[in-house]
Structure 1
Amino acid sequence: MLHRQPGSPRGIGNIANSFLLVHVAIATVATLLIKSDPFTFAAKALFPASSILIGMSLAWTTRASTLLQSADLRDALFRNDRRAEDYVYGFQLAILVIMLMVTYVAIMAGGGLSIIVFGQETDSLLSGFWLYLLLSLAMRECWGVVNFTNLLSLLDYRRGEKR
Protein backbone atom coordinates (compact mmCIF):
# COMPACT_ATOMS: atom_id res chain seq x y z
CA MET A 1 0.00 0.00 0.00
CA LEU A 2 2.87 2.38 0.72
CA HIS A 3 5.34 0.99 -1.84
CA ARG A 4 5.23 2.78 -5.13
CA GLN A 5 7.26 2.58 -8.32
CA PRO A 6 8.06 5.84 -10.17
CA GLY A 7 5.15 6.59 -12.52
CA SER A 8 3.01 3.91 -10.91
CA PRO A 9 -0.41 4.97 -9.62
CA ARG A 10 -0.81 2.28 -7.00
CA GLY A 11 -0.56 2.79 -3.29
CA ILE A 12 -2.18 5.09 -0.81
CA GLY A 13 -1.69 7.90 -3.34
CA ASN A 14 -4.86 6.63 -5.03
CA ILE A 15 -6.77 7.88 -1.96
CA ALA A 16 -4.55 10.60 -0.48
CA ASN A 17 -4.50 12.93 -3.45
CA SER A 18 -6.05 16.28 -4.37
CA PHE A 19 -9.48 14.67 -4.83
CA LEU A 20 -9.50 13.96 -1.08
CA LEU A 21 -10.36 17.65 -0.60
CA VAL A 22 -13.53 17.11 -2.64
CA HIS A 23 -14.51 14.25 -0.35
CA VAL A 24 -13.76 16.37 2.73
CA ALA A 25 -16.00 19.11 1.30
CA ILE A 26 -18.79 16.60 0.60
CA ALA A 27 -18.49 15.19 4.12
CA THR A 28 -18.57 18.67 5.65
CA VAL A 29 -21.65 19.68 3.68
CA ALA A 30 -23.39 16.40 4.51
CA THR A 31 -22.54 16.75 8.19
CA LEU A 32 -24.01 20.24 8.29
CA LEU A 33 -27.06 19.69 6.07
CA ILE A 34 -28.33 16.18 6.83
CA LYS A 35 -30.86 16.64 9.61
CA SER A 36 -30.89 13.04 10.76
CA ASP A 37 -28.62 11.93 13.57
CA PRO A 38 -25.65 10.13 11.91
CA PHE A 39 -26.20 7.02 14.06
CA THR A 40 -29.85 6.76 13.02
CA PHE A 41 -28.96 7.54 9.40
CA ALA A 42 -26.34 4.78 9.41
CA ALA A 43 -28.77 2.25 10.87
CA LYS A 44 -31.74 3.00 8.63
CA ALA A 45 -30.21 3.96 5.29
CA LEU A 46 -26.51 3.34 5.05
CA PHE A 47 -26.17 -0.15 6.47
CA PRO A 48 -28.23 -1.78 3.68
CA ALA A 49 -26.73 0.56 1.05
CA SER A 50 -23.16 -0.13 2.13
CA SER A 51 -23.71 -3.85 1.89
CA ILE A 52 -24.90 -3.38 -1.68
CA LEU A 53 -21.77 -1.32 -2.47
CA ILE A 54 -19.42 -4.05 -1.33
CA GLY A 55 -21.41 -6.70 -3.20
CA MET A 56 -21.27 -4.66 -6.40
CA SER A 57 -17.56 -4.02 -6.08
CA LEU A 58 -16.74 -7.65 -5.45
CA ALA A 59 -18.88 -8.75 -8.40
CA TRP A 60 -17.23 -6.26 -10.75
CA THR A 61 -13.78 -7.16 -9.43
CA THR A 62 -14.52 -10.79 -10.24
CA ARG A 63 -15.48 -9.74 -13.76
CA ALA A 64 -12.22 -7.79 -14.11
CA SER A 65 -10.23 -10.75 -12.83
CA THR A 66 -11.87 -12.94 -15.45
CA LEU A 67 -11.04 -10.44 -18.19
CA LEU A 68 -7.43 -10.22 -17.05
CA GLN A 69 -7.05 -13.97 -17.63
CA SER A 70 -7.08 -13.31 -21.38
CA ALA A 71 -3.51 -13.53 -22.73
CA ASP A 72 -4.21 -10.95 -25.44
CA LEU A 73 -5.57 -8.45 -22.96
CA ARG A 74 -2.68 -9.05 -20.55
CA ASP A 75 -0.20 -8.44 -23.38
CA ALA A 76 -1.95 -5.16 -24.21
CA LEU A 77 -2.05 -3.94 -20.60
CA PHE A 78 1.00 -5.22 -18.78
CA ARG A 79 4.19 -3.55 -19.89
CA ASN A 80 7.23 -2.28 -18.06
CA ASP A 81 5.50 1.01 -17.27
CA ARG A 82 2.22 -0.61 -16.08
CA ARG A 83 2.74 -3.88 -14.29
CA ALA A 84 0.04 -6.32 -13.20
CA GLU A 85 0.42 -5.14 -9.60
CA ASP A 86 -0.84 -1.68 -10.57
CA TYR A 87 -4.19 -3.15 -11.52
CA VAL A 88 -4.48 -5.84 -8.87
CA TYR A 89 -3.54 -3.59 -5.96
CA GLY A 90 -5.82 -0.86 -7.27
CA PHE A 91 -8.78 -3.21 -7.00
CA GLN A 92 -7.56 -4.41 -3.61
CA LEU A 93 -7.33 -0.84 -2.28
CA ALA A 94 -10.85 -0.11 -3.53
CA ILE A 95 -12.22 -3.17 -1.73
CA LEU A 96 -10.31 -2.17 1.45
CA VAL A 97 -11.86 1.32 1.44
CA ILE A 98 -15.32 -0.14 0.93
CA MET A 99 -14.81 -2.71 3.69
CA LEU A 100 -13.64 0.03 6.08
CA MET A 101 -16.74 2.04 5.24
CA VAL A 102 -19.02 -0.97 5.85
CA THR A 103 -17.29 -1.62 9.19
CA TYR A 104 -17.64 2.01 10.24
CA VAL A 105 -21.30 2.09 9.18
CA ALA A 106 -21.94 -1.09 11.19
CA ILE A 107 -20.39 0.50 14.28
CA MET A 108 -22.43 3.67 13.75
CA ALA A 109 -25.62 1.66 13.15
CA GLY A 110 -25.01 -0.08 16.48
CA GLY A 111 -24.89 3.28 18.26
CA GLY A 112 -21.18 4.01 18.01
CA LEU A 113 -18.56 3.65 20.69
CA SER A 114 -19.07 4.68 24.32
CA ILE A 115 -16.15 7.08 24.27
CA ILE A 116 -16.66 10.79 24.79
CA VAL A 117 -13.70 12.98 23.84
CA PHE A 118 -14.95 16.50 23.00
CA GLY A 119 -18.49 16.29 24.34
CA GLN A 120 -21.57 14.48 23.09
CA GLU A 121 -22.59 16.99 20.41
CA THR A 122 -19.09 17.54 18.97
CA ASP A 123 -18.32 13.82 18.99
CA SER A 124 -21.58 13.15 17.18
CA LEU A 125 -20.70 15.74 14.51
CA LEU A 126 -17.21 14.27 14.09
CA SER A 127 -18.65 10.75 13.86
CA GLY A 128 -21.02 11.97 11.16
CA PHE A 129 -18.18 13.68 9.30
CA TRP A 130 -16.10 10.48 9.21
CA LEU A 131 -19.18 8.51 8.18
CA TYR A 132 -19.88 10.77 5.21
CA LEU A 133 -16.19 10.99 4.27
CA LEU A 134 -15.86 7.20 4.18
CA LEU A 135 -19.15 6.94 2.28
CA SER A 136 -17.95 9.43 -0.33
CA LEU A 137 -14.62 7.63 -0.72
CA ALA A 138 -16.33 4.24 -0.94
CA MET A 139 -18.71 5.47 -3.63
CA ARG A 140 -15.76 6.81 -5.63
CA GLU A 141 -13.87 3.53 -5.28
CA CYS A 142 -16.95 1.47 -6.19
CA TRP A 143 -17.49 3.61 -9.27
CA GLY A 144 -13.79 3.27 -10.12
CA VAL A 145 -14.06 -0.53 -10.01
CA VAL A 146 -17.15 -0.50 -12.23
CA ASN A 147 -15.67 2.03 -14.66
CA PHE A 148 -12.32 0.29 -15.00
CA THR A 149 -13.97 -3.10 -15.48
CA ASN A 150 -16.12 -1.64 -18.24
CA LEU A 151 -13.01 -0.19 -19.88
CA LEU A 152 -11.35 -3.62 -19.70
CA SER A 153 -14.46 -5.14 -21.29
CA LEU A 154 -14.39 -2.61 -24.13
CA LEU A 155 -10.68 -3.13 -24.70
CA ASP A 156 -11.17 -6.89 -24.77
CA TYR A 157 -14.07 -6.52 -27.22
CA ARG A 158 -12.09 -4.21 -29.53
CA ARG A 159 -9.09 -6.53 -29.50
CA GLY A 160 -11.45 -9.39 -30.45
CA GLU A 161 -12.80 -7.35 -33.40
CA LYS A 162 -9.27 -6.84 -34.76
CA ARG A 163 -8.55 -10.59 -34.81
Structure 2
Amino acid sequence: MINFWTWLFRGGARYPGIYRYWDFWLLLHAFIGGLLATTLPISLQQAATTLLLPVAGVFIGLSFAWGGNAQALLQTSEIEDVSNFSRGGYEEYVFAFQAAILCILITLVLWTLAGLGLFDKFWPTERELWPYRSIVGILFFFSSMTLRECWHVVLGAQNLLIMRFKVRQNSKKR
Protein backbone atom coordinates (compact mmCIF):
# COMPACT_ATOMS: atom_id res chain seq x y z
CA MET A 1 0.00 0.00 0.00
CA ILE A 2 1.31 3.44 -0.93
CA ASN A 3 1.30 6.24 1.64
CA PHE A 4 0.90 9.97 1.08
CA TRP A 5 4.58 10.91 1.28
CA THR A 6 5.59 8.19 -1.16
CA TRP A 7 2.86 9.34 -3.55
CA LEU A 8 3.90 12.99 -3.15
CA PHE A 9 7.63 12.52 -3.80
CA ARG A 10 7.95 9.25 -5.72
CA GLY A 11 4.54 8.71 -7.23
CA GLY A 12 2.23 5.77 -7.46
CA ALA A 13 1.04 4.48 -10.81
CA ARG A 14 1.55 7.98 -12.22
CA TYR A 15 4.12 10.69 -11.69
CA PRO A 16 4.95 12.07 -8.20
CA GLY A 17 2.10 14.09 -6.73
CA ILE A 18 4.29 17.15 -6.31
CA TYR A 19 4.29 17.43 -10.10
CA ARG A 20 0.65 18.50 -9.84
CA TYR A 21 2.06 21.87 -8.80
CA TRP A 22 4.77 21.99 -11.48
CA ASP A 23 2.90 23.74 -14.27
CA PHE A 24 2.27 27.12 -15.86
CA TRP A 25 0.41 28.33 -12.79
CA LEU A 26 3.63 28.17 -10.77
CA LEU A 27 4.87 31.14 -12.81
CA LEU A 28 1.71 33.08 -12.01
CA HIS A 29 2.09 32.33 -8.28
CA ALA A 30 5.74 33.48 -8.46
CA PHE A 31 4.70 36.66 -10.29
CA ILE A 32 2.04 37.44 -7.68
CA GLY A 33 4.51 36.77 -4.86
CA GLY A 34 7.14 39.00 -6.48
CA LEU A 35 4.69 41.78 -7.25
CA LEU A 36 3.33 41.88 -3.72
CA ALA A 37 6.83 41.59 -2.26
CA THR A 38 7.85 44.78 -4.03
CA THR A 39 4.66 46.75 -3.36
CA LEU A 40 3.49 45.73 0.13
CA PRO A 41 3.43 49.02 2.07
CA ILE A 42 3.04 47.45 5.53
CA SER A 43 4.95 44.88 7.57
CA LEU A 44 4.25 41.19 7.32
CA GLN A 45 2.96 41.18 10.88
CA GLN A 46 0.42 43.89 10.06
CA ALA A 47 -0.62 42.12 6.86
CA ALA A 48 -1.01 38.82 8.67
CA THR A 49 -3.04 40.07 11.61
CA THR A 50 -5.32 42.49 9.77
CA LEU A 51 -6.07 40.59 6.60
CA LEU A 52 -4.49 37.28 5.80
CA LEU A 53 -5.06 35.21 8.94
CA PRO A 54 -8.80 36.00 8.93
CA VAL A 55 -8.95 35.16 5.20
CA ALA A 56 -7.07 31.92 5.92
CA GLY A 57 -9.93 30.93 8.21
CA VAL A 58 -12.30 31.26 5.26
CA PHE A 59 -9.97 29.16 3.07
CA ILE A 60 -9.74 26.46 5.71
CA GLY A 61 -13.48 26.37 6.33
CA LEU A 62 -14.25 26.23 2.62
CA SER A 63 -11.71 23.53 1.91
CA PHE A 64 -12.61 21.33 4.83
CA ALA A 65 -16.34 21.63 4.07
CA TRP A 66 -15.86 20.63 0.44
CA GLY A 67 -13.17 18.14 1.43
CA GLY A 68 -15.68 16.44 3.72
CA ASN A 69 -18.12 16.28 0.83
CA ALA A 70 -15.41 14.79 -1.37
CA GLN A 71 -14.51 12.24 1.29
CA ALA A 72 -18.12 11.10 1.46
CA LEU A 73 -18.23 10.82 -2.33
CA LEU A 74 -14.96 8.87 -2.43
CA GLN A 75 -16.63 6.22 -0.28
CA THR A 76 -19.36 5.53 -2.82
CA SER A 77 -19.25 2.46 -5.04
CA GLU A 78 -19.61 4.59 -8.17
CA ILE A 79 -16.40 6.53 -7.51
CA GLU A 80 -14.59 3.33 -6.55
CA ASP A 81 -15.62 1.90 -9.93
CA VAL A 82 -14.49 5.03 -11.79
CA SER A 83 -11.13 5.00 -10.00
CA ASN A 84 -10.40 1.57 -11.49
CA PHE A 85 -10.12 3.30 -14.88
CA SER A 86 -7.87 6.08 -13.62
CA ARG A 87 -4.16 5.63 -14.23
CA GLY A 88 -3.35 6.78 -10.69
CA GLY A 89 -6.09 4.67 -9.18
CA TYR A 90 -8.10 5.43 -6.09
CA GLU A 91 -5.04 6.82 -4.29
CA GLU A 92 -4.76 9.62 -6.85
CA TYR A 93 -8.16 10.96 -5.82
CA VAL A 94 -7.55 10.64 -2.08
CA PHE A 95 -4.01 12.00 -2.03
CA ALA A 96 -4.83 14.93 -4.33
CA PHE A 97 -7.25 16.24 -1.70
CA GLN A 98 -4.72 15.59 1.04
CA ALA A 99 -2.04 17.53 -0.89
CA ALA A 100 -4.40 20.50 -1.17
CA ILE A 101 -4.97 20.47 2.58
CA LEU A 102 -1.18 20.24 3.14
CA CYS A 103 -0.65 23.34 0.97
CA ILE A 104 -3.29 25.21 2.99
CA LEU A 105 -1.73 24.17 6.29
CA ILE A 106 1.79 25.19 5.21
CA THR A 107 0.50 28.61 4.20
CA LEU A 108 -1.38 28.98 7.48
CA VAL A 109 1.76 28.14 9.49
CA LEU A 110 3.85 30.63 7.49
CA TRP A 111 1.31 33.42 7.99
CA THR A 112 0.96 32.55 11.67
CA LEU A 113 4.73 33.00 12.04
CA ALA A 114 4.40 36.32 10.22
CA GLY A 115 1.51 37.32 12.48
CA LEU A 116 3.65 36.58 15.53
CA GLY A 117 6.21 38.99 14.14
CA LEU A 118 8.94 36.40 13.61
CA PHE A 119 10.05 37.74 10.22
CA ASP A 120 9.74 41.39 11.23
CA LYS A 121 11.95 40.78 14.27
CA PHE A 122 14.79 39.51 12.08
CA TRP A 123 14.66 42.61 9.85
CA PRO A 124 12.79 45.26 11.88
CA THR A 125 14.38 48.31 10.26
CA GLU A 126 15.58 46.87 6.98
CA ARG A 127 12.38 45.99 5.13
CA GLU A 128 13.87 47.05 1.80
CA LEU A 129 16.60 44.42 1.84
CA TRP A 130 16.22 41.34 -0.35
CA PRO A 131 15.95 38.74 2.47
CA TYR A 132 12.85 40.39 3.89
CA ARG A 133 11.32 40.96 0.45
CA SER A 134 12.09 37.33 -0.45
CA ILE A 135 10.15 36.14 2.59
CA VAL A 136 7.27 38.43 1.65
CA GLY A 137 7.36 36.97 -1.87
CA ILE A 138 7.39 33.39 -0.56
CA LEU A 139 4.44 34.06 1.73
CA PHE A 140 2.38 35.55 -1.07
CA PHE A 141 3.51 32.80 -3.44
CA PHE A 142 2.09 30.22 -1.04
CA SER A 143 -1.02 32.36 -0.52
CA SER A 144 -1.65 32.37 -4.25
CA MET A 145 -1.14 28.59 -4.39
CA THR A 146 -3.53 28.18 -1.46
CA LEU A 147 -6.22 30.18 -3.21
CA ARG A 148 -5.82 27.90 -6.23
CA GLU A 149 -5.87 24.75 -4.08
CA CYS A 150 -9.03 25.87 -2.28
CA TRP A 151 -10.64 26.26 -5.67
CA HIS A 152 -9.35 22.82 -6.70
CA VAL A 153 -10.91 21.22 -3.64
CA VAL A 154 -14.28 22.65 -4.69
CA LEU A 155 -13.76 21.62 -8.32
CA GLY A 156 -12.60 18.15 -7.30
CA ALA A 157 -15.67 17.59 -5.15
CA GLN A 158 -17.93 18.83 -7.93
CA ASN A 159 -16.21 16.56 -10.46
CA LEU A 160 -16.78 13.61 -8.13
CA LEU A 161 -20.47 14.55 -7.91
CA ILE A 162 -20.73 14.67 -11.69
CA MET A 163 -18.85 11.36 -12.11
CA ARG A 164 -21.11 9.68 -9.58
CA PHE A 165 -24.20 11.03 -11.33
CA LYS A 166 -22.99 9.84 -14.75
CA VAL A 167 -22.13 6.36 -13.46
CA ARG A 168 -25.57 6.06 -11.87
CA GLN A 169 -27.21 7.35 -15.04
CA ASN A 170 -25.34 4.82 -17.19
CA SER A 171 -26.13 1.93 -14.86
CA LYS A 172 -29.85 2.74 -15.05
CA LYS A 173 -29.71 2.56 -18.86
CA ARG A 174 -28.47 -1.03 -18.80
Q: In the alignment, which residue of structure 2 is the partner of 1:13?
A: 19
The answer to whether the aligner puts 1:152 opposite 2:156 as a matched pair is no
Please provide the CA RMSD for this pair: 1.9
The answer to whether the aligner puts 1:142 opposite 2:141 as a matched pair is no
Secondary structure of 2:85's aligned partner: coil
Deviation at 1:53, TM superposition (A): 0.7
The answer to whether the aligner puts 1:124 opposite 2:132 as a matched pair is yes
Provide, for residues 88-112 of structure 1, a one-character-per-residue CA deviation record: whole Å limited to 9, x for no partner: 1111111111000001111111112
Aligned partners of 2:29 and 2:144 also within 8 Å: yes
Q: In the alignment, which residue of structure 1 is the partner of 2:54?
A: 48
In structure 2, stretches of 5+ residues that fail to align are 1-7
Larger CA deviation: 51-60 vs 130-139: 51-60
Distance in 1, Cα, partners of 2:135 & 2:46: 12
In structure 1, stretches of 5+ residues that fail to align are none
Distance in 1, Cα, partners of 2:88 & 2:151: 21
Distance in 2, Cα, partners of 1:38 & 1:88: 34
Q: In the alignment, which residue of structure 1 is the partner of 2:37?
A: 31
Larger CA deviation: 70-79 vs 38-47: 70-79
Aligned partners of 1:38 and 1:108 also within 8 Å: yes
Distance in 2, Cα, partners of 1:40 & 1:19: 28
TM normalised by structure 1 equals: 0.87
Distance in 1, Cα, partners of 2:89 & 2:105: 25
Distance in 1, Cα, partners of 2:21 & 2:118: 25
Deviation at 1:120, TM superposition (A): 4.4
Aligned partners of 1:38 and 1:127 also within 8 Å: no
Provide, for residues 57-116 of structure 1, a one-character-per-residue CA deviation record: whole Å limited to 9, x for no partner: 111111111011111221023336231111111111111110000011111111124435
Provide, for residues 107-144 of structure 1, a one-character-per-residue CA deviation record: whole Å limited to 9, x for no partner: 1111124435xx54323322211111010011111111
Match of 1:91 among 97, 114, 118: 97
Deviation at 1:22, TM superposition (A): 1.4
Counterpart of 1:91 in structure 2: which amino acid? F
The answer to whether the aligner puts 1:106 opposite 2:100 as a matched pair is no
Distance in 2, Cα, partners of 1:82 & 1:92: 15
Deviation at 1:10, TM superposition (A): 4.7
Count of paired positions: 160
Q: Structure 1 or 2: larger helix share?
A: 2
The answer to whether the aligner puts 1:77 opposite 2:83 as a matched pair is yes
Match of 1:4 among 11, 22, 39: 11
